[in-house]
């Protein structure tokens, strides 16, 4: 009996030992896996909070006009060149797919650019893509051939810090005017320098609804140039630009060809210059050299924004201008803006018209960083919109930015130019006349509020500046 009992015990032990062992092994494995998952997930989620990776077109707390959720078509089978390139680079940057790279994400700006190159080389080496490439119109092909390049050297530097004869100033400049120009537009620059783009201390003017005290602010200015060859211009004027730079100290020129599709380079290279060489200005105005800006009112408007935002915390997402909702690419072959389906598919993101837009210096530095993860796009203001979406930020529309001009009737109204911050397409002569005009009518027009949307101009609505 006892023997039999013993044998039973032995059998039990024989059977149970592996059982227990397996159970322990199982528990151990489960624990290890769950711990690892946890640490991976926390790594990933901390990266999702970093500015380097954001879900496509998601809008945190977005209250503007309704926009499509994602702007470009992200189908694997889409053979549009830009979409393929961006998909490839997004894959390289995605911390969910590359958790091992994720802890270096924040300090890898040089790596960023190499990832752009990597994705470019990988995608353009594919047969399917080479076919698409060959079918693109000449101008787009020219763009696409050089779109991975951004390291163009500076040919002419502005004077001192941030250009235009910076002197000892008691406070940081409020606005840096960064104006896209081309070599032959001497007259435009001349007009701007003596009117709305004048540097130094500039007085702000009261906006109806703003607080009594307005004061003024320091202004800086820089003109942005590519290079135009003597063959294109029919003559060599580079010595004139050098002389202009010497005299005014407000020329920033890079060594790339100054064409319409290369304008985006003026954004990314300007952001780089601004982030490294000109860190003081609180706001950047980026616009064309054929606009009229109501600088005294812009000063008051921005000081007011600053005050409002200081109470709310941050200016790092501030961008204001003429915001264009859900635009689609221009598919008309003869248009200057023509973008064929072989290059880009999808809608455009919300963006502020490039004629004139204002954003905070902090945002300019964030745009500089994020732009290293986004392939260049030939339309400059659309590209800025793409960068904004990746920052999870959105431009704010203000009807006082008229990048598409007044209606004739509205322009004829008295004090119309006192109600705007910017209007596009004014000749140098008109700019000079308008400047003299708003100064001479300042007294009688000082109670005019900033322009509001006609639809929303109910009597109860306060002016947008309020
Ligand atoms: C979004 O809105 C919520 C509530 O309205 C607020 O608590 C939160 O701070 C906002 N987030 C951002 C990033 O603005
Ligand atoms: C942009 O500039 C580069 C450098 O000068 C030039 O090679 C390229 O052709 C230009 N791109 C376009 C679209 O004009
Ligand atoms: C931009 O990136 C650099 C280096 O990666 C970092 O030091 C800096 O804080 C970033 N700036 C902003 C505004 O995110
Ligand atoms: C400007 O403000 C004053 C007082 O704040 C008000 O009486 C006047 O009607 C306003 N003008 C306009 C055009 O809104």
d(CA 292, CA 411): 14
Residue 410, pLDDT score: 87
311: which 2 tokens?
């109470």
Q: What pLDDT is stored for residue 302 in this prediction?
A: 95
Q: Whose CA is nearest to atom 6 of ligand 3?
A: 107
Closest CA to 179 of 405, 363, 399, 358: 358
Q: Report the half-sphere exposure of 196 (CA within 13 A, side-chain side).
A: 33
Nearest residue (CA) to ligand 1, atom 8: 61
- Look up residue 368 and give its DSSP letter: H
Ligand 3 and 242: CB distance under 6 A = no
pLDDT of residue 15: 67
Contact call for residues 187 and 167 (beta carbons, < 8 A): no
pLDDT of 39 reads: 53
Rounded distance, CA 114 to CA 75, Å? 25
Specify the 3-state DSSP secondary structure of 30. helix
Question: Six-digit token pair at 429?
Answer: 């002569």
**C-beta of 110 in contact with ligand 1 (< 6 A):** no
Assess whether the C-beta atom of 74 lies below 6 angstroms from ligand 3.
Answer: no
Residue 372 in contact with ligand 3 by CB distance below 6 A: no
Query: Is the Cβ atom of 334 under 6 angstroms away from ligand 1?
Result: no
Whether residue 454 has its Cβ less than 6 Å from ligand 1:
no
Q: Is the CB of 109 under 6 A from ligand 3?
A: yes
Structure tokens belonging to residue 314: 């941050």
Pairing of strands 356-360, 283-288: antiparallel
> What string of pLDDT tens digits covers the 466 residues of the chain?
555 655 666 766 666 676 667 777 777 777 776 666 555 544 444 333 333 333 333 344 445 444 444 566 666 667 899 999 998 888 877 656 665 555 554 445 556 678 888 889 989 988 888 888 999 999 999 999 999 999 999 999 998 778 766 566 788 999 999 999 999 999 999 999 999 999 999 999 988 766 566 789 999 999 999 999 999 899 999 999 999 999 999 999 999 999 999 999 999 999 999 999 999 999 999 999 999 999 999 999 999 999 887 766 688 999 999 999 878 899 999 999 999 999 999 889 999 999 999 999 999 999 999 999 899 999 999 999 999 988 888 899 999 999 888 888 888 888 999 999 999 999 999 999 999 999 999 999 988 999 986 544 333 323 333 2
Instruction: Name the residue with the closest Cα to ligand 1, atom 1.
Output: 61
- Give the model's pLDDT for residue 18: 67
Q: Which residue among 52, 359, 365 has the greatest number of ligand 3 atoms within 8 angstroms of its CB, and so is best to mutate? A: 365
For residue 137, the ligand closest to its alpha carbon is: 2
- How many whole angstroms separate alpha carbon 152 and alpha carbon 376? 14
Sheet holding 401-402, edge to edge: 291-293, 422-424, 401-402
- Hey, is 214 helix, strand or coil? coil
Q: Which ligand is nearest to the CA of 49?
A: 1
* The three-state (H, E, C) secondary structure of 248-309, written as one string: HCCEEEEEEECCHHHHHHHHHHHHHHHHHHCCCCCEEEEEECCEEECHHHHHHHHHHHHHHH
Residue 163's region, left for phi above 0, alpha for psi from -120 to 50, else beta, is left
CA 62 to ligand 1 centroid distance, Å: 10
Q: What is the DSSP letter of 155?
A: E
Q: What residues line ligand 2, using a CB cutoff of 6 Å?
A: 142-143, 146, 256-257, 259, 261-262
How far is it, in rounded angstroms, from Cα 142 to Cα 148? 12
The CA–CA distances, whole Å, from 127 to 81, 122, 342, 375 equal 12, 11, 15, 20
Identify the pLDDT of residue 107: 46
Length of the chain: 466
pLDDT score, position 409: 86
Strands 216-227 and 200-203, bridge-based pairing:
antiparallel
Pocket test for ligand 2, best of 141, 232, 257 (most atoms within 8 A of CB): 257
Give the ligand 3 atom nearest the CA of 108: 5
Spacing, Cα 60 to ligand 1 middle (Å): 8
What is the CB neighbour count within 10 angstroms for residue 104? 9
Q: How far is the CA of 457 from the centre of ligand 4 (A)?
A: 14
Could you say which architecture CATH assigns to the domain 154-440?
Answer: Alpha-Beta Complex (3.90)
d(CA 92, CA 115): 7
Q: How far apart are CA 275 and CA 268, in angstroms?
A: 11
How many Cα atoms within 13 Å fall on the side-chain side of residue 85?
28
Rounded to whole angstroms, the Cα distance separating 212 from 206 reads: 7
Measure CA 195 to chain center.
27
What residue's CA is closest to ligand 1, atom 4?
A: 61
Residues 22 and 16: their CA atoms lie apart, in Å, by: 10
């Amino acid at each position: 009996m006892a023997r039999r009992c013993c044998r039973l015990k032995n059998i039990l032990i024989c059977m149970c030992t592996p059982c227990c062992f397996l159970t322990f092994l199982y528990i151990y494995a489960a624990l290890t896996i769950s711990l690892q998952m946890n640490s991976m997930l926390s790594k990933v989620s901390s990266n999702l909070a970093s500015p380097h990776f954001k879900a496509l077109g998601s809008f945190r707390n977005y209250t503007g006009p309704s926009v499509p959720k994602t702007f470009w078509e992200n189908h694997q089978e889409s053979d549009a060149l830009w979409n393929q390139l961006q998909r490839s680079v997004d894959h390289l940057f995605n911390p969910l797919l590359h958790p091992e790279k994720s802890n270096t994400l924040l300090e890898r700006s040089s790596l960023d650019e190499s990832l752009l190159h990597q994705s470019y080389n990988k995608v353009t080496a594919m047969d399917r893509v080479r076919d698409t490439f060959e079918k693109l119109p000449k101008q787009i092909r020219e763009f696409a051939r050089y779109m991975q390049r951004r390291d163009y050297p500076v040919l002419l530097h502005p004077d001192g810090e941030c250009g235009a004869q910076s002197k000892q100033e008691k406070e940081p400049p409020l606005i840096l005017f960064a104006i896209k120009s081309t070599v032959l537009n001497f007259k435009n620059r001349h007009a701007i320098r003596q009117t709305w783009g004048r540097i130094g201390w500039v007085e702000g003017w009261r906006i109806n609804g703003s607080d009594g005290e307005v004061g003024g602010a320091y202004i800086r200015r820089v003109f942005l140039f590519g290079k135009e060859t003597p063959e294109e211009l029919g003559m060599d004027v580079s010595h004139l630009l050098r002389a202009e730079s010497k005299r005014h100290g407000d020329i920033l020129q890079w060594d790339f060809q100054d064409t319409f599709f290369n304008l985006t380079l003026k954004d990314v290279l300007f952001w780089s210059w601004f982030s490294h060489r000109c860190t003081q200005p609180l706001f950047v105005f980026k616009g064309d050299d054929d606009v009229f800006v109501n600088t005294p009112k812009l000063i008051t408007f921005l000081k007011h924004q600053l005050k409002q935002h200081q109470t709310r915390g941050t200016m790092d997402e501030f961008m204001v201008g003429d915001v264009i909702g859900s635009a689609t690419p221009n598919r008309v072959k003869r248009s200057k803006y023509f973008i064929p389906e072989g290059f880009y598919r999808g809608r455009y993101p919300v963006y502020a018209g490039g004629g004139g837009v204002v954003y905070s210096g902090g945002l300019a530095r964030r745009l500089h960083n994020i732009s290293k993860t986004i392939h260049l796009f030939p339309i400059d203001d659309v590209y800025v919109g793409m960068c904004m979406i990746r920052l999870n930020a959105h431009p704010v529309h203000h009807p006082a930015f008229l990048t598409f001009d007044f209606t004739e009737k509205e322009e004829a109204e008295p004090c119309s130019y006192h109600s705007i911050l910017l209007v596009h397409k004014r000749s140098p002569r008109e700019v000079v006349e308008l400047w003299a005009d708003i100064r001479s009518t300042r007294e009688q027009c000082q109670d005019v509020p900033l322009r509001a949307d006609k639809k929303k101009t109910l009597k109860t609505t306060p002016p947008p500046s309020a």
